[in-house]
Amino acid sequence: MKKLLFLFSFCLALILAFNTPQLYAGDEKVSVPGKSEPAETGKEWSPWTSVESYKIGSGDVLEIMTWKEPDFSREDVLVRTDGRITFPLLGDVLVAGQTPLQVKKDIETGLKDFVEGPVVTVTVKSPGSQKFYILGEVANTGEYNLLKDLTVLQAFALAGGFTDWASKKEIILMRNEDGKEKIYRVNYKNIVQGKDFSQNIHIKANDTIIVP
């Protein structure tokens, strides 16, 4: 029974991990890949994030399109390590820490001196800032892209499982919250045995999981 439960969790993790979403902040609608009808702006379409809550970070790739203005449209805009992008006539624009909707409004405001009634859409094509780390006694340690809403159980599956020497009862998840380092204790066996599902923590960007 335990082996079947682990196999099910492993397969589910792989299915979720390789379905990458995009965030779109347009004039009135939020576009969701795979949906025939767009959702209303601000509606959370994924447990991972929403267009209102997602914070752009260094390493993200944006698509910025200005309606009927190809000179003010860019398909692949990399957010630099200083949190800024370069946009025609506006120069360097600070976008890190802002949502796609905020960036949309900032660019529209800046373009009003050059375009009458600019309508801008901002899409996060690649959430390169969304990463987490797994260290210690797992098959594949390193940096992983946080492409979907993932739990620690699914993260272990992505890392190829544990080594023979892993201490599954003493796993640590380190997270920076409000400038302070917070530590969560995870007992893997309690999760897979159904004793404490609350320890199957949802991962956030820049989390570090350590398996001693």
Which of 128, 127, 130, 173 has its CA nearest to residue 152? 173
Flag whether pLDDT at 50 surpasses 70: no
Give tens-digit pLDDT for 98-126.
Answer: 999 999 999 999 999 999 999 999 999 99
Give tens-digit pLDDT for 63-72.
Answer: 999 999 999 9
Whether the CB-CB separation of 16 and 149 falls below 8 Å is answered with: yes
Lowest-pLDDT choice from 18-27, 51-60, 136-145: 18-27
Q: Do 142 and 114 fall into the same domain?
A: no
CATH of the domain at 43: 3.30.1950.10
pTM for this predicted structure: 0.65
Give tens-digit pLDDT for 135-179.
Answer: 999 999 999 998 788 999 999 999 999 999 999 999 999 999 888
CATH of the domain at 193: 3.10.560.10
Count how many domains the chain has: 2
Q: Higher-confidence residue: 36 or 134?
A: 134
From 126, 141, 169, give the residue that closes a domain. 126
C-alpha torsion sign, points 192, 197, 198, 201? positive
Cβ neighbors of 165 (< 8 A, separation 6 or more) are 137
Q: How far is CA 141 from CA 43, 135, 161, 165, in A?
A: 35, 5, 10, 14
Rg (CA), the chain: 20
From 91, 126, 161, give the residue that closes a domain. 126
Cβ neighbors of 84 (< 8 A, separation 6 or more) are 92, 93, 94, 95, 96
The residue range of the domain holding 194 is 2-15+129-211
From 94, 126, 158, give the residue that closes a domain. 126
